[in-house]
A = this chain, B = another copy of it.
Amino acid sequence: MNEMGSVATMMDELGRAARLAASQIAYAPSDAKRKALDVAADEIERQAPEILAANARDMEFGRDKGLSAAMLDRLMLDEKRISGIAAGLRAVAAQPDPVGQVMAEWDRPSGLHIRRVRTPIGVVGVIYESRPNVTADAGALCLKSGNAVILRGGSESFHSSRAIHACLQAGLAEAGLPETAIQLVPTRDRAAVEAMLRAVDHIDVIIPRGGKGLVGLVQREARVPVFAHLEGICHVYVDRDADPEKARRVVLNAKTRRPGICGAAECLLVHRDVAETLGQQIVDDLMAAGVEVRAQGLRGTRPAQPDDFGREFLDMIIAARVVDDVDDAIAHIRRYGSQHTESIVTENEATAERFFSRLDSAILMRNASTQFADGGEFGMGAEIGIATGKLHARGPVGAEQLTSFKYIVLGDGTIRP
């Protein structure tokens, strides 16, 4: 424990400092924010040896703790990943500043001119697990959007996150911005997470980044609003009118490119008219690529069990099922989906339209791999996470969706009759 006293007191002080910083950073000049991020990127490269040394300590701690190989891989930094972090900071720096952007403007018969302009949300809380790069990505996106941020990294990435955070602070100082705009919780104590979830006075929105355990905890316990997705149970529906080559290519990529990300396909649905031909071909492709196919109505590695549907495998496993038609596919997705990303493979315009209008996932695709569900691929430069809720932010969340808006109303001594 540190000298400030209890974790609750410390978090309260962090919260107050964030609220104060938010009121200043909200109208910080675009140039200053850009400079802070560019300087931070330079610092990341300059301090690469220190960051790698800090990461080595975390890796040792992680191995002692018995982290899985996948977890250790997320935690690990090397020269290439450090370059990637610096490049990410520069990419966010180069983006247009969303704050002050005019979203719409119009005149009224009363003589008033009304403008809706983007304004920061205030204070963002980010709670994440082992990936140290989230420190840089989340810090950069919050700064770009004029928000103060409180970062709470995983205990495994404690030293790496601190080293990266120091670079962000150097950037803020160099640009003359308050260093409290980007704060990192300086303790591994889990009480800090609980304090953040209840900090309705100090934090405006919380974004959890991590596994289902963390996200579920945050969604259940938070009194502060949350932008998140609990699971990415993504479906690919191969329609009767699918182009066979496109279907084979898309399904294979959607499952196997990186099976562990939230945009990976977890369930294949095939129209019964093409099940024995194209459907079986796709299943065979998947099996040939090393995927375990749990199939219903198709020949797979093993028969699907009821609980294989609606399941996020995050692995080289996929559930597969034959459906009667697009409506049956829609009904399946409504029942088992997680409102993240679904793709239809079809050449039929009307069928695609039906799929798009009757489903309401954050991302709906046609003839494209679900692996594209990503802020970078959407052109947002970076993402702080992907949201499946319907209020405020949805899909990949970039700097723009970290803003709110206000109305500027211009009159000339105008009064209301």
Contact = CB atoms under 8 A, between A and B. Distances in A.
A245 B413 contact: yes
A334 B391 CA distance: 27
A121 B356 contact: no
Contacts of A405: 394
Interface in A345-397: 356-358, 360-369, 371-372, 377-379, 390-392, 394-395
A178 interface: no
Interface stretch (A83-91, A105-113, A169-177, A268-276): A105-113
Interface string A194-223: 000000000011000000000000000000
Given A360-B119, A391-B404, A404-B391, A368 B253 contact: no
B369 A414 contact: yes
A406 interface: yes
Contacts of A407: 362-364, 378, 394-395
Interface in A238-297: 243, 245-247, 249-250, 252-254, 257
A148 interface: no
Contacts of A204: 390-391
A246 B412 contact: yes
Contacts of A205: 391
A26 interface: yes
A253 B106 CA distance: 23
Contacts of A257: 415-416
B371 A108 contact: no
How big is the A interface, by class? Answer: 35 or more
A134 to B, nearest CB: 21
Tell me the number of copies of this protein.
Answer: 2
Contacts of A250: 411, 413-415
Contact of A372 (B100, B379, B406, B409): B409
A401 to B, nearest CB: 10
Which among A205, A362, A404 has the greatest number of chain B C-beta atoms within 10 A? A404
Contact of A416 (B112, B372, B390, B404): B372
Contact of A363 (B245, B246, B249, B406): B406
B367 A414 contact: yes
A303 interface: no
A184 to B, nearest CB: 24
Given A204-B391, A390-B121, A409 B368 contact: yes
10 pairs of A and B residues whose beta carbons are closest in the complex: A368-B411, A246-B413, A253-B415, A390-B404, A392-B392, A371-B416, A365-B409, A368-B414, A391-B392, A367-B411
23 contacts: A106-B379, A110-B372, A114-B379, A119-B360, A119-B390, A204-B391, A243-B413, A250-B414, A253-B415, A257-B415, A360-B406, A364-B408, A365-B409, A365-B410, A366-B408, A368-B409, A368-B411, A368-B412, A369-B415, A390-B404, A394-B404, A394-B405, A394-B407
